Chain A
């Protein structure tokens, strides 16, 4: 049976411990699922990290992955969403020769049309920043390409979910249910 593959954003909330990123990615690599983008950072709660992972898979497999993620001892919560259910953004940086922008007209118009920001101007180069969905940052890339791009980088997707249940309420409920000794968990964070 053909199963429709779609783009899913998976948000994983974990304790702040060494190695947890590896445990998370193993779940995907073991099943030979390519991680299209990943962004990691602290969440709104102290000591809880948030990973935003984008994959293209069928929902049935995504659900299995979510369960495997949540099975990991130090994963607090994992959720998945289609693009409609998240507000997401990526950031891209472009390094171009300053002379390209200074040569008048065309390149400057492209930058304006895309609402890109100028982050720094040096004699030799200028760094532009553009946030948006991949298609938007890619479109600026394509238009600047003829002028020569010295360096380009794009971040992984970061996403905020539309459903309103807060992480704090989820964590609170879990702490109640598990008779958690967070004083001890915290001791692992001896730096």
Chain B
């Protein structure tokens, strides 16, 4: 006879599902396999509450979870089996770690008694993922599941967000136990949001009030901290020109009068040049990545530096901060705004405008209005701006088209630029766009991808087909691995080693997935084709043949100072 309390027991796998639902998850991405089958079996019972999206590769699942998290601000969840399933997640986890994306990754593992025996599909995913996760944990008995997952969600989303991985042995998934779920509220060894130092704020306020040529650099911290409006209030009262990192893009309206453009290697001319002329540099929620700073020995040496950042490990890591402010940007910025003087910096802003004019004349005008027959990537982006309301979520891959997208796409809403920044993961775009569209079904999601990156994850067209995910895909095809080719042209004597792409007929491939397609080679058809794509209900693939050997400029070459940014 089964005892009464035996009946109340559920399996570890059922507990996993209950935990996800308790954390408010309604959509997960994954791929089944032997060691995670009990969890899939449990998912089968809750299809209505907790939808599972079957991607075509585990890398697709993790990038989709990233795209979902970046578009919605919620934790992305993906699941995979042990061994190859788990290792296929690693690229996406590493990407999420460096780009601070909240993810909970759940992997199946061989039964506990087989750990370390080189069992079928056993791999030490805890060991492999340790350097690229914010936290990870191996569950070997069912009782640990609620606590492990509660802690996982807490850690993934709190403080500076990041990916966590919970590895669950198959026997723990089968094991019956008494389930009880409590959300996690804190642990003594981890302080997600340090309290900011008001004394330091006073000094910063004094610096801001006295600065003649202040410059703000903002990153994704503004978006992750939900502080877009606090940020806008701060810059508007202080009147300080503000430049963004690639991950900070869309935190501030592209057309805001204080938005002076993109920082870094392929960023705008003015903010790079004037980084080395400002007297006060205020970095907000950014980490002075080498693609932003160029040569550190020649970076903003003339300026006093304020660094507002939630992660103390970023302070003085790359650039010495005279005034470090560690804490939540959503608390710090309003405090500063309340205490600074309202100012404008017309002459200083004018310097940006003048350099911007130079960049328009030397680079931007030609990019957007080419005199040659070949299409440019820039004009495609420009037309998207023209025919849409600029409230699209634009997901880009990695390479030339990414730089062009970030340079030229216009944004009116936050969380609408999604790209792999820190890790530079080719193949990110297509699955991330799927995740973004599933997370924000009412927004137009446009994937902008190159012919190289597209072929790294194009199996996810199968996911689009199965789930009828209405993403709009623009393939900017230059039949080259364009960014590497550009470097070969500039720094390797045009020796185009393995960058020529002999491509298949993408139209046929995409059509095979039942997705509406179009291909444009001539300018006169481009605008109409983009309109048709955006008006189409359902997934759409637009291939645009662009100039094969176009380069992205301006450029800060490796080892150069940001002030030495070249226009050609």
Contact = CB atoms under 8 A, between A and B. Distances in A.
A178 B151 CA distance: 14
B143 interface: yes
B191 A67 contact: no
A46 interface: no
Contacts of A190: 141, 143-144
Contact of A73 (B126, B138, B144, B190): B190
A96 to B, nearest CB: 38
Nearest to A30: B131
A32 B562 CA distance: 29
Interface stretch (B181-189, B511-519, B543-551): B181-189
B312 interface: yes
Contacts of A175: 188
A174 B316 contact: no
Interface residues of B, number: 32
For B130, B144, B147, B190, the residue with the greatest tally of chain A CB atoms inside 10 Å of its CB is: B190
B188 A184 contact: no
Contacts of B191: 174, 177-178
Contact of B189 (A15, A26, A30): A15
Given A14-B189, A67-B313, A73 B134 contact: yes
A73 B135 CA distance: 7
Contact of A180 (B143, B187, B317): B187
Contacts of A180: 186-188
A74 interface: yes
A182 B317 contact: no
Interface in A71-114: 71, 73-76
B155 interface: yes
Contacts of A177: 191
B141 A181 contact: no
A168 interface: no
B141 A174 contact: no
Contacts of B155: 73
B151 A174 contact: no
Nearest to B194: A177
B130 A74 contact: no
A91 B151 CA distance: 40
B127 interface: yes
Contacts of A71: 311-313
B315 interface: yes
Contacts of A179: 185-186
B187 A178 contact: yes
Contacts of B186: 178-181
Contacts of B312: 67, 70-71
Interface string A1-20: 00000000000001100110
A68 B138 contact: no
Given A71-B312, A190-B141, A182 B131 contact: no
A155 to B, nearest CB: 26
Interface in B146-165: 147-148, 150-151, 155
Contact of A22 (B130, B134, B141, B182): B130
B189 A74 contact: yes
Contacts of A39: none
Task: Tell me whether chain A's interface is mostly helix, strand or loop, or mixed.
Answer: helix
B138 A188 contact: no
B189 A76 contact: yes
Contacts, number: 83
Interface string B275-319: 000000000000000000000000000000000000111011100
B313 A174 contact: no
A162 interface: no
Nearest to A177: B191
B315 A187 contact: no
A171 interface: yes
Interface in B244-301: none
B188 A182 contact: yes
Contact of B147 (A22, A68, A182, A187): A187
Contacts of A174: 188-189, 191
Contacts of A115: none
Contacts of B141: 190
For A14, A18, A19, A76, the residue with the greatest tally of chain B CB atoms inside 10 Å of its CB is: A19
Contacts of A145: none
Contacts of A181: 184-187
Interface in A21-51: 22-23, 26, 30
B313 A73 contact: no
B124 to A, nearest CB: 10
Interface in A126-153: none
Contacts of B311: 71
Contacts of A68: 313
A140 B137 CA distance: 45
Interface in B300-341: 311-313, 315-317
B190 A178 contact: yes
A63 interface: yes
Contacts of B150: 184
A22 B189 contact: no
Contacts of B188: 76, 171, 174-175, 178, 180, 182, 185
Contacts of A182: 187-188
A64 interface: yes
B143 A184 contact: no
Given A64-B317, A184-B147, A75 B131 contact: no
Interface in A155-191: 171, 174-175, 177-182, 184-185, 187-188, 190
Contacts of B134: 73
A184 B151 contact: yes
A133 B148 CA distance: 43
A14 B187 CA distance: 12
A188 B147 contact: yes
Nearest to A63: B316
A58 to B, nearest CB: 13
B105 to A, nearest CB: 16
B317 to A, nearest CB: 6
Contacts of A14: 189
6 contacts: A15-B189, A68-B313, A71-B313, A75-B189, A174-B188, A178-B191
Given A15-B187, A22-B127, A74-B135, 11 more contacts: A67-B312, A67-B315, A73-B155, A74-B189, A179-B186, A180-B187, A184-B150, A187-B144, A188-B144, A188-B147, A190-B144
Interface of B: 126-127, 130-131, 134-138, 141, 143-144, 147-148, 150-151, 155, 182, 184-191, 311-313, 315-317
